[in-house]
Amino acid sequence: MSITKESELAGMQKVSEAVAITLREMRRHCIPGMTAKQLDEFGGQILNELGAKSAPCLTYGFPGWTCISVNNEVAHGIPSEAKILNEGDLINIDVSAELDGFWSDNGGSFILGKDLNQHQHLVDTSKRILQKAISNIKGGVRIADIGQLIETEAKKSGYKVIKNLTGHGVGRSLHEEPHEIANYRDRLNFTRFKKNSVVAVETFISTSSTIANTQADGWTLMGDKGGYVAQHEHTIIVTDRMPVILTALNEIWN
């Protein structure tokens, strides 16, 4: 969507604060020994208290309020009772929601407790690349150029990118135009970012894989060559200067 009036800006700010606060509080609440289901129920309660409805539930009938992916899971992990969270796990929480007809999306990977498995560099790289990518987005910039920046920065740090998961437009629904804000230079994508448009920009920085495949459960995505992936995501408004980060309250860069 494009922001054309104050009521639209206020609506996007409200839903974005809801998903950002939920992500932040879920990360703070997470401790070794709890199940992904317990963490998800905590997040669902916050969304409900803020008047927001889970986007994955609403849009796709996803079996959870939020997506919680652990270790080798790339994205769309089911928050089940059987998934126990342990010290040193690489955890990704993705929270998206609808509130009063507006939709917003954000996510972040982090290490639970001590970095027992040396994932911190991957997580930090993903954060840094998202920050650099967003700082280079403004009206008129080619989407493919941001993709090239992301992949180039990943390669400099010894990583790859997942090529079939992308950022996207958001606002009046969960996924809108532009649908393909890729993590690499798509030479066939001539689309440019438009001033006042709302987009969810996300990194998928990978140790080994470049493609994420859906597993037998119909939801969970795993890398084609194994390894680990860190993802970080903000919903932003594109301007002719620095973007407005609507989900800044998630504190994923802290």
Closest CA relative to residue 13, chosen from 179, 231, 249: 249
CA distances from 196 to 116, 160, 236 (A): 43, 31, 10
Instruction: Give every CB contact of residue 7 below 8 A, 6+ residues apart in sequence.
Output: none
pLDDT of 210: 98
In 10 A of CB 132, how many CB atoms? 14
pLDDT of 206: 98
pLDDT of 113: 97
Instruction: For residue range 58-96, list pLDDT tens digits in order.
Output: 999 999 999 999 999 999 999 999 999 999 999 999 999
H helices of the chain, in order, are 6-29, 36-49, 55-60, 120-135, 143-156
- CA 123/CA 108 separation, integer angstroms: 9
pLDDT of 211: 98
pLDDT of 89: 98
Closest CA relative to residue 162, chosen from 88, 218, 226: 226
Q: Which two tokens stand for residue 236?
A: 């932003």
Percent of the chain scored above 90 by pLDDT?
Answer: 99
- CA 25/CA 40 separation, integer angstroms: 11
pLDDT of 9: 98
- CA 155/CA 232 separation, integer angstroms: 17
pLDDT of 192: 97
Instruction: Give every CB contact of residue 64 below 8 A, 6+ residues apart in sequence.
Output: 37, 40, 54, 56, 57, 78, 79
pLDDT of 175: 94
Q: Which two tokens stand for residue 99?
A: 């509130």
In this prediction the pTM is 0.97
- CA 172/CA 21 separation, integer angstroms: 20
Q: Residue 43 — pLDDT band, cuts 50, 70, 90?
A: very high
Instruction: For residue range 188-213, list pLDDT tens digits in order.
Output: 999 999 999 999 999 999 999 999 99
pLDDT of 251: 98
Burial class (CB in 10 A: 0-12, 13-18, 19+), 135: exposed
pLDDT of 123: 98
- CA 200/CA 107 separation, integer angstroms: 10
Mean pLDDT of 45-53: 98
